[in-house]
Structure 1
Amino acid sequence: MTDKPEGEGFRRLAGLAGIGFALVIVGANLILVPAGLPKPGTDADQAVTFFQDHRDLVSPALALTPAAWFCAVLFGAGVLATLRSTERDIGTGWSMVGFAGLLLQNATFTVIVGLRYALSTAAGAVPALWVLQDALLALNGTFLALALVGFTLAGKVGGLVRTWHAAIGFLATAMQFAGAVLTPWVIDGPGTLGWVGLSGWLLWVVWFVAYGIALVRGTPSPAVQRP
Structure 2
Amino acid sequence: MSTTTLPDVRVARDEQIAGALALALAASLAVQNAVVIWVGAPSYADPMTEVLAFHADHRSAVAIAVGLEALNLPLLLGLLVCMVGLVERRGGAGAAWSRLAVAAGAVLSAVFALYAVLWIGVVLAADGLTEPTPLLELVWQMHAGAFALVMPALGTTFVAVALATHAGGLTAPWQRWLGLAGGGLLVVAGTACLPIADGSSLLFVGMPGYAAWLVWLIATGVRLVRSAS
TM (norm. structure 1) is 0.85
Task: Report the 3-state secondary structure (helix = DSSP H, G, I; strand = E; otherwise coil) of the residue aligned with 1:4.
Answer: helix
Deviation of residue 86 (structure 1)? Answer: 4.4
CA distance in 2, matches of 1:40, 1:84: 42
Q: Tell whether 2:177 aligns with 1:167.
A: yes
Q: Tell whether 2:77 aligns with 1:68.
A: no
Gaps of 5+ in 2: 1-5, 130-134
| Structure 1 equivalent of residue 44 of structure 2 | 40
Give the 3 Å change call, closer, same or farther, for CA 52–83 of structure 1 in structure 2: same
Deviation of residue 105 (structure 1)? Answer: 1.3
Q: Tell whether 2:210 aligns with 1:206.
A: no
Note the aligned Cα RMSD (angstroms): 2.2
The one-letter amino acid paired with 2:115 is I
Q: Which has the larger radius of gyration?
A: 2
| Structure 2 equivalent of residue 129 of structure 1 | 139
CA distance in 2, matches of 1:173, 1:161: 16
Q: Tell whether 2:156 aligns with 1:153.
A: no
Deviation of residue 44 (structure 1)? Answer: 4.2
The one-letter amino acid paired with 2:221 is G
Deviation of residue 91 (structure 1)? Answer: 8.0
Gaps of 5+ in 1: 220-227
Identity %: 22
Give the 3 Å change call, closer, same or farther, for CA 56–46 of structure 1 in structure 2: same
When structure 1 is superposed on structure 2, of 123-132 and 155-164 the one drifting more is 123-132
Q: Is the 8 A contact 1:73 1:103 kept in 2?
A: yes
TM (norm. structure 2) is 0.85
CA distance in 1, matches of 2:144, 2:197: 6
Q: Is the 8 A contact 1:44 1:131 kept in 2?
A: no
Q: Is the 8 A contact 2:23 2:217 kept in 1?
A: yes
| Structure 2 equivalent of residue 114 of structure 1 | 117
* Residue from 172, 187, 191 that aligns with 1:177: 187
